Amino acid sequence: MTSAASGFYPLANATTKDLANICQALWGWSPCSQWIQGEVCTQASSGCSCSQALRLEPFFDLYRNITAYYLPDAIGSSHPALRSHDDLRNIVVLLRNNPDEPRAHLTAGYFASRETQESKNPPLSDQNRAFNLAARIITMVQPSAEYQSDGLLELGSQPALWSGDKSLATFINSAFPKREYPSLSHGNDVTSATKINLSSIMARRLKKVAKLEMIPTDDLTSHLLLDSKKGTVAIFHYTSILKESLTDGSKLSEPKPGSEDAKITANTHSNIPPQLAMETLSTIKDILFPDDQTSQSMLRSLISKAKFDPDIARIVEPPLHSCGIYEPIKYQYWGSRLLDLYDELENPTPRGFFEKWLERKSGARYAMMATLIGLFIAILLGALGLGVLVVSTEFDHFALN
């Protein structure tokens, strides 16, 4: 952006120092000084934190993109809610250190501490926008306060409501409800007739059988979301962020039975519930893109053409195993989406004019298609036979003459 435009957009330019500060606020580590200064790190191959920063480059690009166009609602002598990336980092730290405090309480306290005689508080809409942006960076979910349509909302996406009386932990758990899906269970209490074969929901089958296109999304709530009309399946592809959530623990955890808010556990740094992160990684590694050559080739194509995070191809081992857990995943978060995809494979939505003309149910559609093809072949053979008969008659007539 130009310097004039930067005056209207205070977060237009994110420096490597800003990115390092965000890493510290989110995950408790910071890239080395050489990385911050733009120099080649001499310890990169020896476990230096800059190697983590290099893996997070797609996230840094996303951070730059969603912060660059923050436009404040400053009025009169008030300052913008976010005057710099330092303000955004401070709100991130505040939210992560107080996951059970209501949003309205934290918002009022934060801006009251900033207010001076020379500078009044920004409008409430601008304050909410600042906290929405911080929460989005923490959770990878697009939130919205009551009666507010966030200007940073992606085209076509639906924000998750984060009301003023709810904490960040409560917001996360309301955005990702959990339930049991017996048909996806690996236990012996489920009959084989009702079990779903998850290995059948591979991306290559979704493309070939259901004619679905895999598209990237940076909103975790849209992961595995099927759009039957557009013929797309959204995939949250920032696996590098999910891995960070599994390597540094979690202060925002699963809610205890009978409690409204998620409680603080022994873990202290993760922004995404560990089970949610593991399920998401597993749906990518174990279901959509297993280790067969065709699936991996398709994944590489999505990285090069659809701009998927390259780290998505670096999920080496099952996510649970990397955490020392060897029990099968129950998919309590993504079970509903997986069942939707399975149903789409069993009964594909008609895509072309000819398929739409046929019946909706796949069995009846393919039976009718086979009948029509057989009828067409019979008509073609009949026409050819008639042609041969006509030619033969002409030859006989010519021979008699």
pLDDT tens-digit map of 122-149 = 899 999 999 999 999 999 999 987 665 5
- pLDDT on residue 114: 85
- How far is 13 from 272, CA to CA, in rounded Å? 27
Same domain flag for 320 and 204: yes
Report if residue 139 sits inside a domain.
yes
- How far is 167 from 104, CA to CA, in rounded Å? 9
Same domain flag for 304 and 234: yes
Same domain flag for 330 and 198: yes
- pLDDT on residue 257: 41
Q: Token digits for 198?
A: 């998850």
Within the chain, which residues score under 50 in pLDDT? 151-156, 188, 190-191, 193, 249-269
Query: 156: alpha, beta or left, given left = phi > 0 and alpha = psi -120 to 50?
Result: left
- pLDDT on residue 339: 95
Report if residue 72 sits inside a domain.
yes
Buried b (16+ CB within 10 A) or exposed e, 207-233: eeebebebbbbbbbbbbbbbeeeebeb
* Contact predicate 272/136, CB 8 Å: no
* Contact predicate 338/283, CB 8 Å: yes
Report if residue 339 sits inside a domain.
yes
- pLDDT on residue 357: 55
Q: Please identify, among 124, 149, 175, the residue that sits at the C-terminal boundary of a domain.
A: 175
Same domain flag for 204 and 274: yes
- How far is 80 from 77, CA to CA, in rounded Å? 10
Q: Which helix (H) or strand (E) holds 226?
A: strand 226-227
- How far is 88 from 107, CA to CA, in rounded Å? 13
Report if residue 353 sits inside a domain.
no
- pLDDT on residue 249: 41
Same domain flag for 253 and 159: no
- How far is 21 from 29, CA to CA, in rounded Å? 9
Same domain flag for 302 and 372: no
Report if residue 354 sits inside a domain.
no
The DSSP bridge partners found for residue 235 are 216
* Contact predicate 170/254, CB 8 Å: no
Range of the domain at 150: 3-175
Report if residue 357 sits inside a domain.
no
* Contact predicate 334/223, CB 8 Å: yes
Same domain flag for 148 and 274: no
Same domain flag for 88 and 235: no
* Edge-to-edge strand list for the sheet holding 213-217: 213-217, 232-236, 226-227
DSSP label at 140? S
- How far is 135 from 22, CA to CA, in rounded Å? 13
Q: Please identify, among 175, 191, 207, the residue that sits at the C-terminal boundary of a domain.
A: 175
Q: Summarize pLDDT for 244-299 with one digit per residue, the tens.
A: 988 754 444 444 444 333 333 333 447 899 999 999 999 999 999 999 999 999 99
Domain count, the chain: 3
- pLDDT on residue 401: 62
Q: Which residue carries 């556990």 as its tokens?
A: 265
Same domain flag for 156 and 97: yes
Report if residue 287 sits inside a domain.
yes
Q: Please identify, among 134, 154, 175, the residue that sits at the C-terminal boundary of a domain.
A: 175
